[in-house]
Structure 1
Amino acid sequence: MTARFVETVTDPGKYFDGQGLFLRVQPNGAKQWVQRITIRGKRCELGLGSPPAIPLATARKLALENRGKAMMGGDPVQERRDARAGLTFEAAVERYLAAKLDEFRNDKHKAQWRSTLDTYARPVLGPKLVAEITLQDVLRALEPIWQTRTETASRLRGRIEAVLSWATVAGHRMGDNPARWKGNLSEILPKPGKVAKADNQPALALGDVPRWWAALAQRDGMAARAVEFLTLTAARSGEVRGMTWDEIDFGGRDKTDKTDKTPTATLATTATWSIPASRMKMGRAHRVPLTPEAVAILRSLPRSESPYVFHAQRGGMLSDMTLSAVMRRMQDAEEKAGRAGFLDPTSKRPAVPHGLRSTFRQWAAERGFPRDMAELALAHRVGDETERAYQRSDMLERRREMMAAWAGFLRGEVGTGEKVVKLGTAG
């Protein structure tokens, strides 16, 4: 069959081309492309449109794609029905991930893909039909974090583009991809590499820490306890939010200081939190010594069917935004009371959860703790490859002493090294 034949044929009948594709010519001269195809053992006919709107080359391409889908167990007929019914971005994400998750390198990458889309794209794009998503919709998801979390925003753009690309190929939308960078978003948003490096995540001033810690203790809810635990361990938000009970070793029984009536006045604990490499940013397993305060938080949490220690109401993982909301509400309360609140001493921006790691690092430096030990507590790489080859120890027990001193500082105590003195006391 040729394009010229398709254009000129007028005799009624069926004219076959290949891949089950044929041109049906009606007695009134109307023409329609039809494909005979077997889907999951059932033979059926699938309409592919009419010439000249659908030329021969396009009809052949569609027929080949449908045949390939059917051979792989897909159902192009059902996909067409879904497309006519309308597919939301939220549903498209689920179907895309179901098809593509096995290609990702590890469980951490899978979780990051879903988490990024759930956190930043779903609130804006989730209920919209993929066929109706425009450039402006994509910008609404990207612009709030493009300047402040540029790397995350750049990854988000790529993931939105991938989902919409899948939706186009699957027949749920037509036209250009509104999340495409080159010649599209590149004309509106500054290049990621040219965006001025944002200041470090806003951190708490050391002088505000005890007051902030006391205010946090007054907050109810799972997210508030997660922020407390995050602070005590100097861990990343994702590490805490993804923590499962099987990562915790409570060790021996805590020893309580009987001379001090403070609930957290304990001398020692051997509890340890072991984070697998798949959940760590640097791809290496990490051990965290747990202070009595951290253990007390864990023991106070309700156990449920959820695998997560700090879980959302429906049992899933808490979102990063949920933890941020705790500190945002604390800041709002300060401002309503006529106070400046908890601001980064340099940028004057309200402190955020990730900035607490910077606060810890500054505290450790000012208290004279060894640099390598503080960096290990933050799960940073220490030294070059040669140094790391010889430095096999993670200084767990020495870090346990440092984290105990950090917990004391949070409670309003000051001191250097192992010696801790309560504020307002002599010595």
Structure 2
Amino acid sequence: MASVLTVKAVEAAKPNGQNRVEKPDAALPGLYLVVQPTGARSWALRYRREGKPAKLTIGPVLDRRDDDPPEALAIGQPHTLIEARKAARSALQALAEGKDPAGTLRARQAAAKAHPDRDLIEQLGANFIDRYCKPRNRRWEEVERQFKSEINPKWGKKRAQDIGKRDVLDLLDAIVDRGSPVTANRVFATLRRFFGWLIERDVLKASPCAGVKKPTAEQSRNRMLIDDEIRLFWEAASSFDYPFGPMWRLLLLTGQRREEVSGMVRKELALEGDKPLWTIPASRAKNGIAHAVPLSPVAVHIIKALPRIGKAGFVFTTTGEAHVTGYSRSKARLDASMLRLLQEDADDPKSAKLVGWTLHDLRRTMASGMARLGINLPVIEKVLNHTSGSFGGIVSVYQHHDFAEEKRRALDAWASFVTSLVDDKPAANVLEMKAVAK
């Protein structure tokens, strides 16, 4: 007579040395603990379909699981007693719906054998970018970069079904340990969307990200460069050759986002006349709204001095076929150059230190600098292409003034302020700048 299997009974199950032993589980009729003469143990579900006996091998026996159990396990992976019962119930439910659990498994195995690369992370990742990210996410290139630099080097040749929660934790921990906690957060967000998409497409039954928390708690930044740091930044950036040196300076002068500046193309520019303009199309703007950026004389001078490479029209490129990337390496060199300049001016070079900052802090520096110059907040928000704040809610419905002239005066005033710092002119002459901005 069958008895209810327990964890201790499963652990104590021994081979008889000659024949295979099958121990039924009275708690779930049809589920068996199979013990081979060699001592190997596995789970099997026996059932009848169309009057004929059938068998589904669930997977090897796992006595205990040290980490948190996943929501679902693929057939063929090790299962504990509780997990084997859960898998058996799912198979019996499929049988009740007219499906053959063993036949479905054989079909999947045949498909995997016929297309061995079909479920590899690198292949699924490429499909995810093409089918999901590109139609929905204007920043799909960042997702592609994450797969190429962070995910594929570790998992590219692995099947999605073989990735577990521990693999996710190991990947994120390695990114945090190398000093990139924010990158770990971004990769985690991508993985959650990716594995969720695989569930929708019936590649996975459960996400290995289930139960995983965001690696790092991010805090809102308020870092901005002070006047002396702006001067150091400008001098250091001026010593960089194309494309990064000019690009860094335009980041500060325009206050636009890194990807928007680095992806600038010449057809977006109207440099001639007395009102030069850069129009960022909706497809490249983060908020999906086309954005007109008046260009100061200093910005126009920088852009006109740039070389023309390739036929694609990218302003900042080394290949002519794509805009420049590799920001982190260039930013590290920029920091080193700023530190050298700081040490040269310091009374005690060894004590000179540069507080960490990011490229996005240039955007905040410009916004704060404009406020110092007396420029009104709504104008600053229009320069930044913000749709919340002063222009959120019902205001966005009724307010359609484009602030074109106000933005031009503000950006011209900011450029004048920056150049006054660089040229060692009275940088704190805010009253004079206020007159320019109004």
TM-score > 0.5, shorter chain as reference: yes
Structure 1 residue 361 and structure 2 residue 367: aligned? Answer: yes
1:213 to 234, 241, 248: 234
1:364, distance to aligned residue in structure 2 (A)? 1.0
| Aligned position for 1:73 | none
Shift of 1:350: 1.5
Find the counterpart in structure 2 of residue 135 from structure 1: 168
> Is the 8 Å Cα contact of residues 222 and 311 (structure 1) preserved in structure 2?
yes
Which amino acid in 2 is paired with 1:371? L
Q: Residue 338 and residue 353 in structure 1: after superposition, are their counterparts in 2 closer, same or farther (change >3 A)?
A: closer
1:81–1:301 CA distance, 2 compared to 1 (3 A)? farther
* Structure 2 counterpart of 1:393: 401
2:119 corresponds to 1:113: no
Question: What residue number does 1:271 align with?
Answer: 276
- 2:144 aligned with 1:123: no
Q: Distance in 1 between matches of 2:172 and 2:191?
A: 9
Q: Which whole-Å CA distance do the structure 2 matches of 1:246 and 1:349 have between them?
A: 38
Q: Deviations over 1:263-293 (max 9, x none)?
A: xxxxxx4111112223223332211001122
Question: 1:343-373 CA deviation, whole Å, 9 max, x = no partner?
Answer: xxxxx74121100111111111111112211
Name which of 250, 254, 271 aligns with 2:271.
250
CA distance change for structure 1 residues 57 and 283 in 2, over 3 Å: closer, same or farther?
A: same
Distance 1:145 1:201, change over 3 A: farther
Task: State yes or no: 1:325 paired with 2:329.
Answer: yes
Pick which of 151-160 and 216-225 moved more: 151-160
What percentage of residue pairs aligned between the two structures are identical? 21
The number of aligned residues is: 322
Distance verdict in 2 for CA 1:405–1:323, change over 3 Å: farther
CA distance in 1, matches of 2:245, 2:120: 33
Instruction: Using CA pairs under 8 Å that are at least 6 residues apart, name the structure with larger relative contact order, 1 or 2.
Output: 1
Name stretches of at least 5 consecutive residues in structure 2 with no aligned partner: 1-47, 56-94, 346-353
Would the alpha carbon gap of residues 201 and 307 (structure 1) be closer, same or farther in structure 2, given more than 3 Å must change? farther
Structure 1 counterpart of 2:150, one-letter code: V
Shift, 1:165, TM fit: 5.2
SS at match of 1:95: helix
Q: Does 1:290 align with 2:295?
A: yes
Q: Trace 1:394-413 onto structure 2 (pairs within 5 A).
A: 394-411=402-419, 412=421, 413=425
Question: Aligned partners of 1:315, 1:391: CA distance in 2, in Å?
Answer: 40
The structural deviation recorded for 1:206 is 2.6
Distance 2:403 2:297 in 1: 19
Question: Please, which of 116, 125, 130 is the counterpart of residue 93 of structure 1?
Answer: 125
Query: What is the SS of the residue equivalent to 1:368?
Result: coil
In structure 2, the CA distance between the partners of 1:135 and 1:124, relative to structure 1 (3 Å rule), is same
Correspondence 1:6-155 to 2 at 5 A: 6-7=53-54, 57-61=100-104, 80-83=113-116, 89-100=121-132, 104-105=135-136, 109=137, 111-118=138-145, 120-127=146-153, 128-131=156-159, 133=163, 134-140=167-173, 143=176, 148=182, 152-155=186-189
Give the alignment's TM-score, normalised by structure 2.
0.62
Q: Measured at CA, do residues 387 and 124 of structure 1 come closer, stay the same or move farther in structure 2, by a change above 3 Å?
A: closer
> Using the alignment, how far apart are the partners of 1:384 and 1:136 within structure 2?
38
Report if aligned partners of 2:251, 2:261 keep a CA contact under 8 Å in 1. Answer: yes
Cα offset, 1:213, TM superposition:
0.6
Task: Please state whether the residue corresponding to 2:250 is helix, strand or coil.
Answer: helix
Tell me the distance in 2 between the aligned counterparts of 1:153 and 1:140. 11
CA contact (8 A) 1:125 1:137 kept: no
- 1:170-209 equivalences under 5 Å are 177-178=207-208, 180-182=209-211, 185-186=212-213, 189=214, 195=217, 197-200=218-221, 202-209=223-230
Whole-Å Cα distance in 1 between the matches of residues 251 and 239 of structure 2?
A: 16
Corresponding residue of 2:191: 157
Tell me: CA distance 1:145–1:396, structure 2 relative to 1, closer, same or farther (3 Å).
Answer: farther
Structure 2 Cα separation of the partners of residues 164 and 145 of structure 1: 30
Q: Which 5+ residue runs of structure 1 have no aligned equivalent?
A: 9-54, 67-75, 253-268, 342-347, 422-427
Q: In structure 2, give the amino acid aligned to 1:93.
A: G
CA-atom RMSD, angstroms? 3.9
Report what 1:17 is aligned to: none
